[in-house]
Structures are given as structure tokens and as C-alpha cells.
Structure 1
Amino acid sequence: MNAKVDTFLSNVDKWQKELTLLRHIILDCGLTEDYKWMHPCYTYNNKNVVLIHGFKEYCAILFPKGVLLKDTEDILVQQTENVQAARQIRFTNSNQIESLKSTLKAYIFEAIEVEKSGVKVKMKKTSDFNMPEELQEQFKENPELKKAFDSLTPGRQKGYLLFFSKPKQSATRTSRIIKNTDKILNGKGLNDCVCGLSKRFPICDGSHKSLE
């Protein structure tokens, strides 16, 4: 057990019982306990296999390469459409966790085998995402915006491209771009928190006030 995880669990305001139970289930699978991104993380040969975290409406375990799991019980959740590799299993009480204990261990052992195999998740490149015409127009009008956008991490770029492309109306797409221009110029992602990190786990738990 990692002392930092002890401290984390003793200080959480919600889901303490559930997160502690998940911790013991994961440790029974022989993984090494670490503390990353302000949350418990469990590794195999220094590779991240599964994490535990809590949100307002649920707590969960998260598999960084969950998309590669077979998900025979159909319980894995894709947090948002922009999440390509990671998948969650969510809980709202300890009874749910207890009833799925053997299933959770099976999923964890499968995730360990994924790491042993060395298989990688084939991630979409930024160029695979649609670049709205409205954004291209803004780039022409404001070269600094294009420079700032190109300087963002690939994940942040993809998040913006998905968000800007979604509306059917051109005016709405333009409105979204203009509304987020300052954030792009300041090097922020669509879902960045005031702490400077992403609200999308595992970087930040989203408990801070949004920049939006």
C-alpha cells in the first residue's frame, strides 16, 4: 500500500467506503499501488493498468487502455466522444462493487494481459478530425490564433475540433470559435480547469470552477 493513497482516502469527502473497497479489490490482483494525477493508480511493470476516482454522481475505476478490453459484461463506459482509449466502470454504492467483485478482477487481469502483450491503442491523429471552414476563416483573419492552436497539445486540438464541428448551423460553429478564442490564445484546452489542468480525468477531477 502507498502512504499517499492512505492520505488521499482519509481526506476524501465522498465515496470513501467505495474507493477503499475498490482499492482492496485491485490490490488483490497483484498490482503496484502508486499515486498519480492526485488519484490512486495501479501499475504493472510501471505501466498504468487501472485508476480509481470519484465524481459528484459516481465513483469509478478507469482503464487507460479500456477500449482494448473485450467487455463481455457490457459495463465499460466511454466518458466522452473525445476519449479514445480509456474506459470506466461506474458505481453509486458499495453493494454494486461487492456484486461485481469477481467481474472486476477478471477485467483487471485482462488489462494486465493487455500490458504484458505490449499492444498499443491506435489513436486518431489531429489530421483525422474535421477542420470546420469557420475555424479556417478565423485562422486567416487572426494568424496568432492559428499559431496558438498549433501549439496546443494534440488532445486539446482534437477537443476543440470536435466541439466546433458539432453544430449544424454555421453561425453556431462561428459563435463557439469566437467564444473560445481567448482560451486558445492563452494555451488552454476546451475543458481546462482554473487549476490549469484538464477537467477530464485522470489529469484533474473537475472539482474546481470551470473556466467556461
Structure 2
Amino acid sequence: MTAKGEKNSKIDPYFRKLKKWKEEFELLREIVLDCGVTEEFKWMHPCYTFDDKNIVLIHGFKDYCALLFHKGALLKDPHGILIQQTENVQAARQIRFTNAQAIDEMQLILKSYIDEAIAVEKAGLQVEYKKNTEYSIPEELENKFVEVPDLKTAFEALTPGRQRAYLLYFSSAKQSKTRESRIEKYFVHILNGKGIDD
């Protein structure tokens, strides 16, 4: 187990291999670690935890890289920089960057947001999820979310289309046992951020 605030050597190769956003990721890594969190690797990304609770994740896209706050919806966001990826994402929020200079200039702000995210976890605050009326989550999946919180986080990070495809497939089984086996079958798939057809 890596000590709080220290680089996890198991993740070093990931940072070394980066082709895109290399400088940005290194800078974000230092800023986040400065806040006394533990560096781990989840969902194929550097993920930072506090007392085993997910605080923030570093991830890159084609046009930007971002810090993803798992419970970003609970942060005060005085600077108005948190972005909700899609309207279906209820808890997570991103702060996006397109260059290292922007990250450098925002160091203090970013640390204050990370500190607040840690405080949210320490206080045991929870995001109140609105039920999506479009499609319902089968009970078997809800139970699995409780059992494996990481699955819930990974599921919510999927695009709305991917979520819908899974929910339709899981719900279409008549028997609970079949629904459970379908969920088991795609468990790792979801954790890896993949859709049903990926």
C-alpha cells in the first residue's frame, strides 16, 4: 500500500508511456498528491483515494484532460469551473484543461477543491440520486452497486447510451437469476468503461 501523498511506483509506467497530456498529467499528479491522498490505479486511470474513498481521477480525452471529482456535485464550486459531462451524470464533475500552463496557474484553486472533496468524504456526505425515469435500474444491479461501489462509479461514468443499453439488456430478462448472471457477465466490462458492444 502506498503512503498518503507519495507516488505509487506501480503507476509510474502509465505516466511514462503517455503520448498525450504527459506534462499536464505529471503536474496534476503532483498537485493531487500534495493534498495527502493515496495514489491508486482504477478503471485504467490514476485514481486518488482518502481512507479508501474515491476522491479524484485524472483522465485524458482527445481535446482536453481533466480531474474528475467523484462527488463533484457536492462541491461548492466558487470559481464555476466544475463541468457535468452529460445531464445523466449525477455525482461526478470535471475540471478540464487544455494545457499545462492553465493547470499551473490554478494550483491553489485545484488544491482547495481537492481539500473540499476530502472534507466531503470525511463528513460522510452522499449525493442524492434522482431516479432516471427513462429506464429503471433493476434491483439486482442496485444490489450489486451497494456490494461493489466501484461498479456504481464505473457505470455512472459510462455514456448515457451505454448505460441505457445495459439497463435494457439486464431488465429484459424475466427471471431474477438471469438478470444476475447477465450482470455478472458484464461486470468487468463495465469496470473497464466498456459498453455492451465494445
TM-score of the pair, normalised by structure 1: 0.66
Instruction: Name 2:77's counterpart in structure 1.
Output: 71
After TM superposition, give the deviation of residue 15 of structure 1 in Å.
0.6
Q: Would the alpha carbon gap of residues 184 and 3 (structure 1) be closer, same or farther in structure 2, given more than 3 Å must change?
A: farther
Match of 1:121 among 108, 124, 127: 127
1:164-183 maps to which residues of 2 (within 5 A)? Answer: none
SS of the equivalent of 2:128 reads coil
Match of 2:66 among 57, 60, 82: 60
Match of 2:38 among 32, 38, 42: 32
**Aligned residues of 1:129 and 1:161 also touching (Cα < 8 A):** no
After TM superposition, give the deviation of residue 161 of structure 1 in Å.
11
The yes-or-no answer on 1:41 pairing with 2:47 is yes
Q: Distance in 2 between matches of 1:93 and 1:63?
A: 19
Instruction: Name 1:172's counterpart in structure 2.
Output: none
Q: Distance in 1 between matches of 2:126 and 2:104?
A: 31
What amino acid sits opposite 1:26 in the alignment?
V
Q: Distance in 2 between matches of 1:120 and 1:182?
A: 28
What amino acid sits opposite 2:108 in the alignment?
S
Q: Distance in 2 between matches of 1:160 and 1:151?
A: 20
Q: Distance in 2 between matches of 1:151 and 1:15?
A: 40
After TM superposition, give the deviation of residue 153 of structure 1 in Å.
3.8
Q: Percent identity?
A: 46
Q: Distance in 2 between matches of 1:161 and 1:16?
A: 29
Q: Distance in 2 between matches of 1:196 and 1:184?
A: 17
The yes-or-no answer on 1:92 pairing with 2:98 is yes
**Aligned residues of 1:2 and 1:35 also touching (Cα < 8 A):** no
The yes-or-no answer on 1:196 pairing with 2:189 is yes
Q: What stretches of structure 2 of length at least 5 have no aligned partner?
A: 1-6, 143-151, 174-181
After TM superposition, give the deviation of residue 84 of structure 1 in Å.
0.3
**Aligned residues of 1:66 and 1:86 also touching (Cα < 8 A):** yes
Instruction: Name 1:6's counterpart in structure 2.
Output: 12
SS of the equivalent of 1:196 reads helix
Q: Distance in 1 between matches of 2:81 and 2:58?
A: 16
The root-mean-square deviation of aligned C-alpha atoms, in Å, is 3.5
1:13-24 maps to which residues of 2 (within 5 A)? Answer: 13-24=19-30
Q: Distance in 2 between matches of 1:88 and 1:97?
A: 13
**Aligned residues of 1:130 and 1:162 also touching (Cα < 8 A):** no
Q: What stretches of structure 1 of length at least 5 have no aligned partner?
A: 132-148, 164-176
After TM superposition, give the deviation of residue 152 of structure 1 in Å.
7.7
Q: Distance in 2 between matches of 1:112 and 1:15?
A: 25
The yes-or-no answer on 1:83 pairing with 2:76 is no
Q: Would the alpha carbon gap of residues 196 and 28 (structure 1) be closer, same or farther in structure 2, given more than 3 Å must change?
A: same
After TM superposition, give the deviation of residue 124 of structure 1 in Å.
2.1
Q: Distance in 1 between matches of 2:58 and 2:172?
A: 33
Match of 2:108 among 102, 114, 117: 102
